[in-house]
Amino acid sequence: MDDISRLTLAHYDQRADDFWAGTRDHDVRQNIDALLGPIEGSPPFVILDFGCGPGRDLKALGALGHVAIGLEGSARFAAMARAYSGCEVLEQDFLRLDLPAARFDGIFANASLFHVPSAELPRVLGELRAALKPGGVLFSSNPRGANEEGWSKGRYGVYHDLAAWRRYLVAAGFAELGHYYRPAGLPRERQPWLASVWRRR
């Protein structure tokens, strides 16, 4: 597990500038809306951007008036996210989280949780659930597959299908609010991303 984290984070550290150039203009407003819509209560909300990368979505959440806090394992990304967004960014390995209990109204895990090995996923999901306020909302978007797991181009990933992903989330104490595939408007075979929204039970 130590090697999985170390090597995956090293991959992102070494390619941080290229990653930012290739992703900074992606439109993920559909995903942000999917997270914010079901959150109960009155804004501003306290949102954890889990795996915030260089800070694109962190800045967008802050610009909407929310208290946006990033979490990132890559030191390069964490520094970039602080500079770009002006938000607080926690530098934490996904497999060694240290999060406050019942702190967040929502957790935005966009293209991040697929890096958690399946053996560790129940524990990590439990820690995220504990960090949400009662009734809080978790959004996740992952590249989907047939539950393959392993190394791909220097990164470790798990490519869940919907049924497997549901089993993990339900077992961790979440209730499904909905799911969809991205990019919108394309045939399913050209929609590699599975997005889902969950409420802490």
Phi, psi of 17 (to 5 degrees): -65, -45
**The pLDDT of residue 16:** 83
**The pLDDT of residue 178:** 98
What is the spatial distance between Cα 198 and Cα 109, in angstroms, rounded to a whole number?
11
**Contact 122/193 with Cβ under 8 angstroms?**
no
Residue 160 DSSP symbol: -
Segments of 51-103 assigned E as strands: 67-72, 88-91
∠ CA(42), CA(46), CA(47), 5° rounding?
Answer: 120
**The pLDDT of residue 64:** 97
What is the mean pLDDT, run by run of 10 residues, along the chain of 201 residues? 90 85 84 98 97 96 98 96 97 97 98 97 98 98 97 95 98 98 94 98 95
**The pLDDT of residue 129:** 98
Q: Which residues contact 50 (CB under 8 A, 6 or more apart)?
A: 71, 107, 108, 109, 112, 113, 128
In order of start, what are the domains of the chain with their CATH numbers?
Answer: 2-200 (3.40.50.150)
**The pLDDT of residue 31:** 97
**The pLDDT of residue 153:** 87
What is the spatial distance between Cα 31 and Cα 53, in angstroms, rounded to a whole number?
16
Global pTM?
Answer: 0.95
**The pLDDT of residue 132:** 98
∠ CA(91), CA(120), CA(67), 5° rounding?
Answer: 35
- CA 111 to chain centroid: 5
Which of 100, 107, 99, 111 is closest to 199 using CA atoms? 107
